[in-house]
Structure 1
């Protein structure tokens, strides 16, 4: 009985000492969020490709990204003079897609146009090639805790061109690199999964070709988030992508202020799998 009374006293004392602390967090107007990262694997024996865009809206710092419905979303190949309309795959999903050809996606400048809540948004890009991953191996190295899992990656840069790369290490973990210090050479590096991985886990690791603006954009996101920031996650601070407000009913300053988040990019992609031992 004395132990029960003592426990009750401690609990009441702890609750009586609690102070309510109110923290002001950043707020912002609702913003359109656009995930238009299109990965094209040219090793697949098919002439078709499904263009896919995910859209949502976010405002408060801790808010979830909610799917939104658009008035219209189109993708135009300016060189070919062809336009496709993307349709929502399921009502309320915020995911829009349409089948097209590999040639449509890989030749000339592509223009994405979005109409949402009476405002127009536009982004342009071109297909960026890359090189295959030559080898994936599990290493034995660690960093600080000793529980990390090391993956060794090798690839050979293509000579006579400036290349930027984005690596997708699964689990929304990304890394960017450029060939400034290894042009035309084989480059090997280690990537560490901080929390370690269970034996038997299979990873799919991809290399994407990106241009310099998208390289800089992803680098900012990765630095802010410590390495686990995907292009459709709410960034810790505002990182402006290439989706521009072009609404004719707004002034230039209003268009600059009412920007969208996210990015439109079309990247050649090679993927390899590795099973953790």
Structure 2
């Protein structure tokens, strides 16, 4: 159990200290998997594949790299797979590269082994649309230090789309095309941190499915505006990476994340543009 010591100083003629011990609940470290694969160019022959594994909890522990004994991605439709290896050793980062075709077409499985327990995540490639333009605006919401960036893109009218925007600094936004199906769409994003003159921002648009949309929407709401959704594990949001050895033990009275690793497995077409900020 963890104990925090709070010292209350009462300054009269002499000083005295009362020590109050507050017991916080301890939590076993949870496996956290960042397995969002961004496909920047669907026409290149091979695509780098990178997955990050860490251990963390919700009570101020330092996040540590996680050692996995197996990391494999399978295309079950094409009966093909790749193994990922840790690089560098002890980093918790597992890498390889694969023919892009196998990531774009078919059902994909992520298979992990951590401390003898098997984890499995399933997904499919999700397409996106390019960012048409970025431009700096003059508007503000709450203060003069804010910087407005206007993002323009054109939705594909032949499918129902969900998008994830990455605005740097751990700031994300999700949107769906329910109200702009097949249309040109523009919206403003306000940076509330002070940006420097001539600072370059790289903004990305990722194609995601509805399940990943709901997952990220919950993470963004929990993380608030001061921290990004990947800065600390969110213990109430369940991803799609299942602990196969605990599935039979799950019941309605157990915490929502029991039997799941924290994090998500997704393969997303990604388009990016840069903008230079003028102050």
TM-score (norm 2): 0.88
Structure 1 residue 40 corresponds to structure 2 residue 6: no
1:81 paired with 2:79, answer yes
Given that 1:31 and 1:258 are in contact with CA atoms closer than 8 Å, whether structure 2 keeps it comes out as no
Cα deviation, residue 238, structure 1: 2.1
Which residue does 1:245 correspond to in 2? 243
Residues of 1 paired with 2:198 and 2:13: CA distance?
Answer: 45
1:121-141, Cα deviation, whole Å (9 max, x unpaired):
000000000000001000111
Match of 1:6 in 2: none
- Partners of 2:227 and 2:106 in 1: CA distance: 29
Match of 2:207 in 1: 209
* Contact 2:30–2:261 under 8 Å retained in 1: yes
Question: What corresponds to 1:175 in structure 2?
Answer: 173
Q: Partner residue of 1:222?
A: 220
Q: Secondary structure at the match of 2:61?
A: coil
Deviation of the 1:170 alpha carbon = 0.7
Q: Where do 1:78-117 residues align within 5 Å?
A: 78-117=76-115
How far does the alpha carbon of each residue in 1:212-265 deviate from its partner, in whole angstroms, 9 at most, with x for none?
Answer: 0100111111111124655543245421100101027x7432897242100000
Q: What SS class does the counterpart of residue 250 from structure 2 fall into?
A: helix
CA contact under 8 A between 2:83 and 2:96: conserved in structure 1? yes
3-state DSSP class of the match of 1:220? helix
Deviation readout 1:51-98 (Å, 9 max, x if unpaired): 110001113421122101111110001111001110001111000011
Residues 231 and 121 from structure 1, CA distance in 2 versus in 1: closer, same or farther, beyond 3 angstroms?
farther
Conserved 8 A contact 2:235-2:262: no
Match of 1:263 in 2: 264
User: Match for 2:157 among 134, 156, 159?
Assistant: 159
Report if the CA contact (8 A) 1:175-1:227 is conserved.
Answer: no
- What's the TM-score, normalizing by structure 1? 0.89
Is the Cα contact below 8 Å between 1:174 and 1:228 reproduced in 2?
Answer: no
Counterpart in the other structure of 2:15: 16
* Cα distance in 2, alignment partners of residues 271 and 17 from structure 1: 59
8 Å contact from structure 1 (residues 41, 269) kept in 2: yes
Runs of at least 5 residues in structure 2 that lack an aligned partner in the other structure: 1-8
Instruction: Give yes or no for contact 1:122–1:246 (8 Å, CA) kept in 2.
Output: yes
User: 1:7 corresponds to which residue?
Assistant: none
Look up the SS of the partner of 2:144 in the other structure: coil
Contact 1:169 1:206 in 2 (8 A): yes
Change (3 A) 1:236 1:106: closer
Query: Which has the larger strand fraction?
Result: 2
- Residues 10 and 17 in structure 2, CA contact (< 8 A), matched pair in contact too: no
How many aligned residue pairs are there? 266
The structure that has the greater radius of gyration is 1
Shift of the 236–81 alpha-carbon distance from structure 1 to 2, 3 Å rule, reads closer
Q: Alpha-carbon deviations, 1:149-182, whole Å to 9, x = none?
A: 0000010100021100000001111000000111
Distance in 2 of aligned mates of 1:59 and 1:235: 6
Cα distance between partner residues in 1 of 2:18 and 2:38: 50
